[in-house]
Structure 1
Amino acid sequence: MYLSRLVRLPKKPFTELDYVRHMPKEYVERTKRTIPRKVFGGRFGAPDVKRWVIHPDDYEPTHQRPWEHDVIGKSLERENQYHSAKLSNKHFELRKSKISRIPEEQWTFFPGDLVQVMVGKDKGRQGTVLRVSRDTNEIFVEGMHCKLEEELKGVEKIGIDKVMSWKEQPLRVDKNQVKLVDPNDNDTCSAKWILNDSKSEYIRVSERSGFEIPIPSQAKVTYEYIQPDKYIEVENKDTPAAIVLERTYVPKLCSFEEEINETHGIKEQSQPQPTYWY
């Protein structure tokens, strides 16, 4: 009964379409360095004491991915400072992020969306979203809001000429620096999530016109495939979808151990000891 209810729950694209949806959460947290280094448990009912690699409150999100080279280098440097202060019994002031992340049910920007820049020299121009950063509420628009930056820093020391290129800079969504374009009239709009007519999935619509803004196919691109329907399963490694969706569970009025014994024909000889509750 409960399984059938879960199957009928409407799909929520705003929670599924993210750059880490096909990456283990443990890996992302490990690259952020916000994991316990050691947990001191067994404290006679008292809560566990955790010694962090980097305290979660000290993590400062950026528009770069946590596993990029520059971000990892800064995280390792911060980790050394944190543990040096702990070993020296000195005060270590935690950095608290000043950016409050937009809730998932209110996020409406995805890669491939047509948007309009509202600030800067490109104000009024429309472009396509290259990538998004939900942690910092920022997006990058292709060819818009660019800045001339050096490609490789320090190459002049080894006799290579300095190379400059234009790079897109982030635009803040929470500060209305960029807005979605309504496909009905190609004008700016704000969007919201509503249930479709069949109540099976949330769709994105314009608050001004009520016109549906479809999610672009680029938003579904992952590190494993460009489109989900074109993913090639690896033989002897990927479990086929038909086997995964096969319902094999049969509920029984017995414990897990009793069910295993019954399946393998094992007769339990020992008698369970009585238990008492005070």
Structure 2
Amino acid sequence: MRFTSLLCRVSDMTKQFSNLPESYIKRSMEQVYWRTPRGFPQHLPREVAKKRFRFTTNRPWTAQFRQQNQPQSIRKKVFLEPIKDWSFFRGDRVEVLVGRDKGKQGIVMQVIQERNWVIVEGLNCHLRTIGRDKDFPGVKVKSEAPLLVTDQVALVDPSDLQPTTVEWRFTESGEKVRVSNRSGRIIPIPKLAEETMDYKTRSSYKAAEKDTVEDDLSKITFEPKLKTFEMDIMEHMGIKEERTPAKTYWY
């Protein structure tokens, strides 16, 4: 089985859930060690930046993610099993296959596709200490630990509530759906998967006054012409060029 090292890319599912522009996520992850000042020769290296990040449960645009990926920090590489067709979404019912909660079912509340992780509500929990100091022992907080989708959780077939493997197929109308390999039933994608970090969904979104409508986006407002910008302005303003240009010679 082929494994690949963890790359510094953010999955499409993460960007959809964050509801943030891709440029903002890229800028928040950027960590530049050294950059050539302006005015120096251009042949010098422009910048030396951190290109490998270690993804955890902290999202790439948070301060905790930046703290875990300090500029000079060197952490052990994480190797992942590549998943061609991702089939786990927020709101899915899954069954835990390992650990003390083996055999229990729960709802997926968070998907971390960069590490092949899902977090199931109320299952696979552990205690972590917050606020520990020399004069204070800290507070124990219970939180869910991530589970690998490759061998630690399985989707539940809604027809009989039993764990099953799934594959993607196409219906007669061309729609791509998840199908249970055991019963052949379609497992629909839950509505919670459409909800973003700020609790917005496509069905509940209402266009505001400053939003650009689809008709304006599809309207053709540019017509290419074999004219320069100055010639186009002169034509619109009714200016006629009466001067004779000087001769130019090319050697």
Matched length = 232
Query: Structure 1: which 5+ residue stretches go unaligned?
Result: 1-14, 83-93
Q: Which has the higher strand share?
A: 2
Cα distance in 2 for partners of 1:244, 1:95 equals: 49
Cα distance in 2 for partners of 1:220, 1:35 equals: 34
Of 23, 31, 48 in structure 1, the residue corresponding to residue 20 of structure 2 is 23
Q: Scaled by the length of structure 2, what TM-score is found? A: 0.74
Q: What is the CA-CA distance between 1:165 and the residue it aligns to?
A: 2.7
Confirm or deny that 1:140 pairs with 2:134. no
Query: Structure 2: which 5+ residue stretches go unaligned?
Result: 1-10
Structure 1 contact 101–134 (Cα < 8 Å) conserved: no
Question: Closer, same or farther in 2 for the Cα pair 1:221/1:210, shift >3 Å?
Answer: same
**Secondary structure in structure 2 of the residue aligned to 1:197:** coil
**Secondary structure in structure 2 of the residue aligned to 1:149:** strand
Of 111, 114, 134 in structure 1, the residue corresponding to residue 90 of structure 2 is 111
Of 241, 255, 264 in structure 1, the residue corresponding to residue 236 of structure 2 is 264
Q: What amino acid is the match of 1:125? A: K
Q: What amino acid is the match of 1:142? A: E
**Secondary structure in structure 2 of the residue aligned to 1:123:** coil
What is the CA deviation profile of residues 112-162 of structure 1, one whole-angstrom value per residue up to 9, with x for unaligned ones?
000000000111111000101011111100111011222x222673x6x73
Q: What is the CA-CA distance between 1:168 and the residue it aligns to?
A: 0.4
Cα distance in 1 for partners of 2:172, 2:205 equals: 30
Partner residue in 2 for 1:64: 58
Q: Which has the larger radius of gyration?
A: 2
Q: Scaled by the length of structure 1, what TM-score is found? A: 0.68
Of 138, 150, 160 in structure 2, the residue corresponding to residue 162 of structure 1 is 138
Partner residue in 2 for 1:205: 179
Q: What amino acid is the match of 2:182? A: R
Q: What is the CA-CA distance between 1:227 and the residue it aligns to?
A: 1.9
Q: What amino acid is the match of 2:58? A: Q
What is the CA deviation profile of residues 60-99 of structure 1, one whole-angstrom value per residue up to 9, with x for unaligned ones?
2223212333222233xx21x27xxxxxxxxxxx657332
RMSD value over aligned CA atoms? 3.5
Structure 2 contact 124–145 (Cα < 8 Å) conserved: yes
**Secondary structure in structure 2 of the residue aligned to 1:122:** coil
Of 42, 47, 66 in structure 2, the residue corresponding to residue 51 of structure 1 is 47
Cα distance in 2 for partners of 1:255, 1:196 equals: 51
Structure 2 contact 132–139 (Cα < 8 Å) conserved: no
Q: Which has the higher helix share?
A: 1
Partner residue in 2 for 1:6: none
Cα distance in 2 for partners of 1:230, 1:259 equals: 48
Partner residue in 1 for 2:194: 220
Deviating more after overlay: 254-263 vs 127-136: 254-263
Partner residue in 1 for 2:100: 121
**Percentage identity across paired residues of the two chains:** 29
